[in-house]
Amino acid sequence: MNAAVVLAAGKGTRLRSATPKVLHPAAGRPLLGWVLEAQHPLGLARVVVVVGHGGDDVRGYVDGLGMPGGRCVPQAEQRGTGHAVRTALDAGALDDATEVLVLAGDVPAVTPASLEALRAARGDVPAAVMTTRLADPTGYGRILTDGDRITAIVEERDATDAQRGVDRVNTGLFAFDATALRGALGRLTTDNAQGEEYLTDTVALLAAEGGVTGVDVPADEVAGVNDRAQLAAVEATLRRRILDGLMVAGVRVVDPAATYVDAEVEVAADATLLPGTMLHGRTRVAAGAVVGPHSRLTDVVVEADATVTYTVAVEARVGPRATVGPYTHLRAGTVLEAGAKAGGFVEMKKAHIGEGSKVPHLSYVGDAEVGRGVNVGAGVVTVNYDGFTKSVTTIGDGAFVGSDTMLVAPIEVGPGAYVGAGSVITTDVPADALALERGERRTIEGWAARKRERHRKGDQA
């Protein structure tokens, strides 16, 4: 059986956060989620996550993923990376494992291909370590070699000046023969600068007992996250990887540096993402749709050939050929059917807008059921809240609501009805009727001319 141990017990002190390090999101997914996703294609039978700081939250996240073979093991005190792996083994979670991969919960950008390369590099020696080359290796464990053979890893704080000059570093990711690992962990000491059981010390032990191999991978894949700047850097790597994947799949991304697409988002070939687009959560964008510039969509479905411009939308559906924006806010529960329109400075909440219906300008439509082919004029408000409860507005097919109308809910405007501009409508409007609510108009002939004349004379006096 092949297994992985994911080290995720650390606090992440340098992030200065109440959230445990491995639950910090990068491109819409916690760091730990990226690690678990990377190992998934390897088809490991068991994945043990070692949890400590924020352990309940981390466990809750892992349980929520419902990974077959996934489980969490608590490490009550963080006594080093070697102690963490030993804790996983001692918990009995890996008893029938033949190979154990060790992954770090704070190294999220590793790829499945590099993990496969690590296993292949091990072959049948006791261990393989994933390494990289850094112009500035400060802080990392250095890889010591004798010719081609890896002989040991020495931590920065335990290294001599000469050893600190080595630019090949330990990424913290390993593949071990399970039996060899168990034996080596049993012989670790805490005789080092940090007084911890270092996993890295297994390398010198195993190098003497069959050898340790290494595989070099690109540095951006194995960048660790210890502070906020590194979190931003790793997020940029992951974001770019998502966008590259979309572009390969046929999505037009006009400016990848200004486009933000989260891990779970789906975008179809021939969709266009204009600069300033942020797609979050379970957002889906269909072929031919154009999103942006400057639109933030969270859990939104954008169907074929729709356009969404300068918009903020949450939990909404934009139907085929529908148009949204500019400067539009679609709140949860809004559905625009095919060809419908939510235009400039329009806010909608729990509004169902029927096929071909238009709300082009400056309106609030909330808790509303709007039929097909309806025209809602500029400045119309569904008055859905009386300070205590929310009420529903229903507008039938083909109705026409004149500009600057207040529809005081609960209210129903029947199919084909007209509501005159500027009305405050408080009772239902029958089908095909005209409803009009206005004060009597007065016209005083010549009044303005007389007023101007009075002022002119006054000025001369």
The binder of 15, among ligand UD1, Ca ion, none, by C-beta within 5 to 8 A per type, is none
| Contact letters for Ca ion, residues 167-206 (x by CB under 5 A) | ----------------------------------------
| 38/278 with CB nearer ligand UD1 | 38
Distance of CA 21 to the CA centre of its chain: 16
User: Which of 106, 177, 221, 305 is the binder for ligand UD1 (CB under 6 A)?
Assistant: 106
Between residue 53 and residue 82, which ones bind ligand UD1 under the rule CB under 6 A?
75, 78-81
| 87/328 with CB nearer Ca ion | 87
User: Which of 199, 267, 359, 362 is the binder for ligand UD1 (CB under 6 A)?
Assistant: 199
The binder of 89, among Ca ion, ligand UD1, none, by C-beta within 5 to 8 A per type, is none
Q: Total residues contacting ligand UD1 (rule CB under 6 A)?
A: 28
* Residue at shortest CB range from Ca ion: 224
Strands (DSSP E) found in 119-228:
127-133, 142-146, 149-154, 168-177, 212-216
Residue 155 in the binding site for ligand UD1 (CB under 6 A):
yes
Distance of CA 95 to the CA centre of its chain: 36
User: Which of 28, 33, 108, 224 is the binder for ligand UD1 (CB under 6 A)?
Assistant: 224
Sign of the alpha-carbon dihedral angle for 383, 344, 318, 301: negative
User: Which of 73, 104, 278, 286 is the binder for ligand UD1 (CB under 6 A)?
Assistant: 104
User: Which of 224, 354, 373, 396 is the binder for Ca ion (CB under 5 A)?
Assistant: 224
* Minimum CB–partner distance for residue 198 and ligand UD1 (Å): 4
| 145/230 with CB nearer Ca ion | 230
Strands (DSSP E) found in 354-402:
358-361, 364-370, 375-376, 381-383, 393-395, 400-401
| 155/337 with CB nearer ligand UD1 | 155
| Contact letters for ligand UD1, residues 133-152 (x by CB under 6 A) | -------xx-----------
- Those residues whose C-beta lies under 8 Å from the C-beta of residue 313, and which sit 6 or more positions away, are 295, 296, 297, 298, 300, 324, 328, 329, 330, 331, 334
Please name which of 104, 100, 43, 93 lies closest in space to residue 68, comparing C-alpha atoms.
43
Cis-peptide, bond into residue 256, ω within 30° of zero? no
Do 30 and 115 contact (CB within 8 A), yes or no? no
Catalytic annotation, pick one of 24, 83, 352, 361: 361
Could you give the angle at the alpha carbon of 343 between the alpha carbons of 432 and 323, nearest 5°?
A: 95
| 140/176 with CB nearer ligand UD1 | 140
**Is residue 40 annotated as part of the catalytic site, yes or no?**
no
Residue 86 in the binding site for ligand UD1 (CB under 6 A):
no
Do 171 and 199 contact (CB within 8 A), yes or no? no
Strands 252-253 and 272-273: parallel
* Minimum CB–partner distance for residue 170 and Ca ion (Å): 10
Could you give the angle at the alpha carbon of 438 between the alpha carbons of 435 and 439, nearest 5°?
A: 150
Between residue 4 and residue 33, which ones bind Ca ion under the rule CB under 5 A?
none
The binder of 105, among Ca ion, ligand UD1, none, by C-beta within 5 to 8 A per type, is ligand UD1
- 3-state class (DSSP) for residue 365: strand
Do 50 and 9 contact (CB within 8 A), yes or no? yes
User: Which of 33, 55, 105, 371 is the binder for ligand UD1 (CB under 6 A)?
Assistant: 105
Distance of CA 145 to the CA centre of its chain: 41
The binder of 10, among Ca ion, ligand UD1, none, by C-beta within 5 to 8 A per type, is ligand UD1
Distances in Å between the Cα of 42 and the Cα atoms of 21, 67, 119, 455 are 25, 13, 10, 89
| 84/238 with CB nearer ligand UD1 | 84
| 226/391 with CB nearer ligand UD1 | 226
Alpha-carbon gap, residue 217 to 336, rounded angstroms: 47
- Those residues whose C-beta lies under 8 Å from the C-beta of residue 52, and which sit 6 or more positions away, are 8, 9, 10, 11, 74, 75, 76, 77, 78
Please name which of 165, 108, 109, 171 lies closest in space to residue 138, comparing C-alpha atoms.
165
User: Which of 131, 170, 357, 423 is the binder for ligand UD1 (CB under 6 A)?
Assistant: 170
Binding site for Ca ion (CB under 5 A): 224
Catalytic residue list: 361
Which residues sit at the interface with ligand UD1, rule CB under 6 A? Answer: 7-10, 50, 52, 75, 78-81, 83-84, 104-106, 140-141, 153, 155, 169-172, 198-200, 224
